[in-house]
Structure 1
Amino acid sequence: MKIVLASNSPRRKELLAQAGIEFIVDPADIDEVTSETFPAKVVEDLSRQKALAVAGKHKGEIVLAADTVVAFDDKILGKPKDEEDAFRMLTELSGRAHQVYTGVTIVDAGGEVKTFSECTEVTMYENSPEAIRSYIASKEPIDKAGAYGIQGLGAVLVKGIEGDYNNVVGLPLAKVYRVLYNV
């Protein structure tokens, strides 16, 4: 079964390939706007918008879309605007737990839409300003929600997780697999 991935995320591509899922890429070109405010509902709504936008171009095919956010105290932390914004975010997360939510929408070949979300709790080490600045100097946090990538250098900032690691990377792979293949 071939999937249309409505995302250009390198991490999502890697995860699908890791699971042996064949796919093509057709990224959704939408304005990511939602009236939802709770993180789980935000990612579900945005993934649904992306999936439906791409499904219209791929009738009879399976479309997979996802959206991931980092939330701290139910406030969404997007991608940092600059290095100072990254420093602010990472300082705020230092020594504390936060949540990573990924919303997933799958439109099957018959047009049936399934939307769900996954939440993983991430706890950061108490990171010194020097450690945070050193990480920011790598430029890795600039294009990452919450200003870190657990799959890269940001892994050294993370004390532990509760839940699906792959969800933090950008796709709850095991759950997606089970929905796709009715496992």
Structure 2
Amino acid sequence: MPDFIYLASQSPRRRQLLEQIGIRHELLLPDAEEDAEALEVLIDGESPDDYVARVTGAKLSAALARRVRRGLPDAPVLCSDTTVALGDRILGKPDDAGHAEAMLASLSGREHRVLTAVALGLPDGRVLSAVNVSQVRFAEIGTERLRAYVASGEPMGKAGAYAIQSQAAAWIAHIAGSYSGIMGLPLFETAQLLREAGFAV
């Protein structure tokens, strides 16, 4: 078994979290001609749980094919996807500032779920996977503070239009679950998958 994994994610937070548990990794990012965003398109009627598992599986399939196409050495490939759900409604990445503002306003004073799926594709063809679900409750967010946060640009590219490690943390009244999962890579579940694959974590 190689002593490193490929991380098929552009998220600096996922890199940071892998480093935190001492996992050596190399990035396996999409080629210019790949439409990575197309993998995240919603299917009507799909539940948040099914959505996050499907998207993560699709990202893993694309990454495994990418590794072969590039002729890279065999090593496990790790993919992850995070989504925010308000009831059965999936809150993905905002399209623009107005969309981000509307998303955050809908979360204000309410509890939502953050779902992060992890999939590890092994050189022997096996796929190990897990889903972490955390509950997050926001306090009421004043309109002025909400608009200032949106104006900072931080919500763009983030599921649910916020990042827990940003100034939005000041609105979080309660968490039940995994802080690292809300950041984008649940370390407990990830470590379990890596141990199953033969890594000392």
**TM-score class normalised by the smaller sequence:** over 0.9
**Cα pair 2:133 2:177 within 8 Å, conserved:** yes
| Cα drift, residue 67 of structure 1 | 0.8
Match of 2:52 in 1: 43
| Cα drift, residue 8 of structure 1 | 1.1
Match of 2:182 in 1: 168
| Cα drift, residue 116 of structure 1 | 2.0
| Cα drift, residue 18 of structure 1 | 1.1
| Cα drift, residue 142 of structure 1 | 2.0
Match of 2:154 in 1: 140
**Which residue type is aligned with residue 96 of structure 1?**
R
Task: Measure, in 2, the Cα distance between the counterparts of 1:140 and 1:69.
Answer: 16
Task: Measure, in 2, the Cα distance between the counterparts of 1:110 and 1:172.
Answer: 24
Unaligned runs of 5+ in 2: none
**Which residue type is aligned with residue 37 of structure 1?**
E
Task: Measure, in 2, the Cα distance between the counterparts of 1:142 and 1:130.
Answer: 18
TM-score, structure 2 as length reference: 0.85
Task: Measure, in 2, the Cα distance between the counterparts of 1:132 and 1:181.
Answer: 41
| Cα drift, residue 74 of structure 1 | 1.2
Aligned residues: 183
Task: Measure, in 2, the Cα distance between the counterparts of 1:34 and 1:50.
Answer: 14
What secondary structure, in the 3-state scheme, does the structure 1 residue paired with 2:148 have?
Answer: helix
After superposition, residues 1-183 of structure 1 pair within 5 angstroms as 1-28=3-30, 29=34, 30=36, 31-32=38-39, 33=41, 35=43, 37-56=46-65, 57-58=67-68, 60-182=74-196
**How high is the sequence identity, in percent, across the aligned residues?**
38
| Cα drift, residue 88 of structure 1 | 0.9
CA deviations over 1:118-144 (Å, ceiling 9, x no partner): 111110011111121122222111221
Task: Measure, in 1, the Cα distance between the counterparts of 2:103 and 2:64.
Answer: 35
The two structures, once aligned, show a CA RMSD in angstroms of: 1.7
CA gap of 1:143–1:53, structure 2 versus 1, over 3 A, is closer
What secondary structure, in the 3-state scheme, does the structure 1 residue paired with 2:81 have?
Answer: strand
* 4+ long deviations beyond 6 Å: none
Task: Measure, in 1, the Cα distance between the counterparts of 2:10 and 2:155.
Answer: 18
| Cα drift, residue 34 of structure 1 | 6.2
CA gap of 1:34–1:129, structure 2 versus 1, over 3 A, is closer
What secondary structure, in the 3-state scheme, does the structure 2 residue paired with 1:140 have?
Answer: coil
Task: Measure, in 1, the Cα distance between the counterparts of 2:97 and 2:50.
Answer: 29
What secondary structure, in the 3-state scheme, does the structure 2 residue paired with 1:41 have?
Answer: helix
